[in-house]
Amino acid sequence: MWTFLHKLASPPYFYKLAASMIPWLAVAGLVLVGYGTVAGLFFAPPDYQQKDAFRIIYVHVPAAYLSMLGYVVMATAAGIGLIWRMKLAHAVAASAAPLGAWFTFLALITGAIWGRPMWGTWWEWGDPRLTSELILLFLYFGYMALRAAIDDTTKADRASAVLALVGAVNVPIIHFSVEWWSSLHQGPTLIRAGGPAIAGPMLWPLLAMIFGFSLLFAALLLGRVRTEVLIRERRARWVRKLVYPEETA
């Protein structure tokens, strides 16, 4: 186990391993998203209250889930890099930030579109989940801006890691906000006592979209980390050999 983790921390090993994993993750993700899209849009029955407007759930829920998961990945990787000084971990954190920001933005936009016919407004500042999700987007922006403002990569890694760890407190606030405070959002639907509060024909496409989006997130993340590794290791012999094989032969 420790031998594998030690090898995984090696940039050349990770670079090759990620290349072999990306196609499998991407194809599986696209298959699940394809099934979820077709089943959710054309075969799932209309909601008894929201009618067909509920179908935006198949994009909004996966996006909201990945907005938080992306931050957890970023903060965890940043913490590992800060504590154990693992350069690859910082590369993962730096690569996860833009993806997490995009999914957070998608969650906010789809939430506003969904909220307009359901709540009668595009935005409600008094809703704790909406506000904390917007704060999450600002945390992503802050992390990326801080990295960009520091030229020294090592210093940028450390400073942004501290910010990522401090901002991680917002993730449980987003998740539990509907239970801790009065919110326009409904309570837990999938993970709750007594099982999911959603019928099977609606549930299976949603689960497919969540897992499909997650696999695509993983594929995109690995692709971005490979690029980040090349940038960070550009002076290493293995990178020069990869890019200019005729010069290192």
| pLDDT tens, position by position, 142-195 | 999 999 999 999 999 999 999 999 999 999 999 998 887 788 777 677 766 666
- pTM assigned to the model: 0.93
Please state the domain extents for the chain: 22-44+51-243
Q: How far apart are CA 208 and CA 35, in angstroms?
A: 7
Q: What is the pLDDT of residue 190?
A: 74
Q: What is the pLDDT of residue 8?
A: 78
- 40 in helix, strand or coil? helix
| pLDDT tens, position by position, 25-80 | 999 999 999 999 999 999 999 887 888 888 999 999 999 999 999 999 999 999 99
Q: How far apart are CA 232 and CA 10, in angstroms?
A: 13
In the block, which residue shows the tokens 């904390």?
A: 132
Q: What is the pLDDT of residue 208?
A: 97
Q: How far apart are CA 23 and CA 20, in angstroms?
A: 7
Q: What residues contact residue 14 under an 8 Å CB cut-off, 6+ apart?
A: 8, 88, 225, 229
| pLDDT tens, position by position, 77-132 | 999 999 999 999 999 999 999 999 999 999 999 999 988 888 888 888 888 999 99
Q: What is the pLDDT of residue 118?
A: 82
Q: Which residue has the higher pLDDT, 8 or 1?
A: 8
104-142 b/e (C-beta count within 10 Å ≥ 16 → b): bebbbebbbebbeeeeeeeebeebbbbbbbeebbebbee
